[in-house]
Structure 1
C-alpha cells in the first residue's frame, strides 16, 4: 500500500512471512532436524506434529504476505496486533518447552520476541510521506 500509515509494520509482516515460509520448508523437508535443533526429544508423534505445523506455516506465511500488501489500514492494524500476541506466545512456549535449552531454542525465542518488539515499535510510527486525509466540511 503506497499511502499507508503502517508502511514499516507492513515490512515487518513481509519479513515475518519469509521467516515462516523458510521454517515451513524446513519442517516439511526435515522435521527431525528442527526438533533436535530446538532441543526436544523426538519420536514419531513429535516429528509428525511438526510436519503438520509446517503445513500450517505455509498457510500463515501466505496470509501474512497477502495481508501486508493488500489489506486496508484498519484490517492490517488488527492483523499486526494478533501477530504481536502470536509472536509473544511462540517465544514463551518455545522457552517453556520440555527438553534441553539449546542454542537453536534461544534463537527461536529471540526471533519471536524480536518480531513482537518490531511490531510494537513500528505500529505507532507514522510512515514518512503518509498523507492523512483531511476531513471534508459540509
Structure 2
C-alpha cells in the first residue's frame, strides 16, 4: 500500500503545483484548503477525508451527499483539488476582467465567455504539464466524480 499523506501534506503538494502557473496568487490558496473543511459544504465542490485506507472523495448538493468514493491514489486527490481550484480562479479572473460580482451585476455566460474560461484552464494545465494536463484533457474529473468508476 502506498503512503497515505495527511491533509497538510496534500495541501502543500497541491499549492506547489498551483505555484507553477501564471494563475497563482496567494489569495487563491484558500481554494486548495477548502476540500478539507468540515464546517460547511459548498454545492458540488470537492471534499476529501483522509483515513487509514486512503482518501474518501465527497461531494454534496444542497446538503445531501452525492459522492462518497474511496481512492488510494494521492494524485487523484491532488488533481481533483487543483482542477476545482483552477476552475474557480479562472472564473474569478473573468468576473474581475468584466467588472461584475455575480450579485448585483452578472456575467453573461456566452460562448465567448465559456471559451475564455476553457482557454484559461487549458493554459494553466499546460503550465503544470505531466499527468495533470493529460487528465484535464481526458476530463478525469468526470471519471472521479462518477460513483461507479
TM-score (norm 1): 0.30
User: When you count helix as a share of all residues, which structure comes out higher?
Assistant: 1
TM-score (norm 2): 0.29
User: When you count strand as a share of all residues, which structure comes out higher?
Assistant: 2
Q: Which has the larger radius of gyration?
A: 1
